[in-house]
Structures are given as structure tokens and as C-alpha cells.
Amino acid sequence: MSDLSHVDETGAVRMVDVGAKPVQRRRAVARAIVRMAPETAARLRDLPKGDALATAQLAGIMAAKRTAELIPLCHPLLSHVDVSLVVGEDHVEIRAEAATAAQTGVEMEALTAASVAALTVYDMAKAVDKAMTFEVALLEKVKE
């Protein structure tokens, strides 16, 4: 028998049955930071492809809602998601918060939202800045 939650006694992958766990309010926060040239940061609302900030916010929300379709063993759940973007001198900080009342957490939804929002900023600005980089991290995962 495996100690891994997503592997059964034969070694096959499986979705964990969370049906017996209590429903709790759960929340997770993830952050992505997209580093770029100051000139790029200054024009994120006026790029050849359009407003990268508004597009990335919407992309992050949409992605969180589809997490269970993208990650094979994720449970479909989500009651709230919020994605905010703050532009610094040479970066954009993206914060994604996901929440639900369920038997399992929403860290994958928060991480997916932050990742896809960062990818969207990258996609929309790559024509003017080929040196961008980004990182994604889970900041918080709580049961309330």
C-alpha cells in the first residue's frame, strides 16, 4: 500500500474520496510576480495586444474555475475567486485568492489563477519584452 494519497494499493493513480471529510470553509492565496523592464511595466495597459492587466485578471478567474478540468485528480469546487494585479516599477504582482466550503482545499485553484494570469501578462507583453520572467508561490492555505 502506498503512502501517497493519489495512488491506490495497486500503484494506480486515483482521485481521493473526500466524501467522509467534514465540509469546512477553506481559503488559499497564491502569488505570481512577473519581472520585466520598467518600460514594459509602464505600458501594460497599452500594449499591441491590448490591456494586459484587465485581460490577465479575467484569465486568472476563468482558469480557477476550470482547475478540475486541467489537473486530472483535482476535485471540482470553488465558491469564490479574486485576482488582483499591482504594477511596480519593474514587475507585476498578481495575487489570487480562492475560497469554498467543501471537504478539500482550494490551493490548486489559487495557484492556477495566479499562474494563468502571469502567463497572460507574459503573452501580451512578450512582443515588447523578451527578457520577462515569473515565479509562482502558494502564500496561504487555511481552514476557517
Catalytic residue among 82, 90, 123, 129: 123
* Span 15-35, pLDDT tens digits: 777 777 889 999 999 999 999
Does the annotation count 123 as an active-site position? yes
Distance in angstroms (rounded) separating the CA atoms of residues 70 and 143: 24
Q: Is the pLDDT of residue 1 over 50?
A: no
Which 8-state DSSP code applies to residue 143? E
Q: What is the residue extent of each domain of the chain?
A: 24-143
Q: What is the mean pLDDT of residues 51-80?
A: 94
**Fold of domain 24-143:** Alpha-Beta Plaits (3.30.70)
Share of the chain above pLDDT 70, in %: 98
Q: Is the pLDDT of residue 44 over 70?
A: yes
Distance in angstroms (rounded) separating the CA atoms of residues 128 and 44: 10
pLDDT at 2: 57
Task: State pTM to two decimals.
Answer: 0.90
Among candidate residues 62, 60, 57, 71, the one with its CA nearest the CA of residue 104: 71
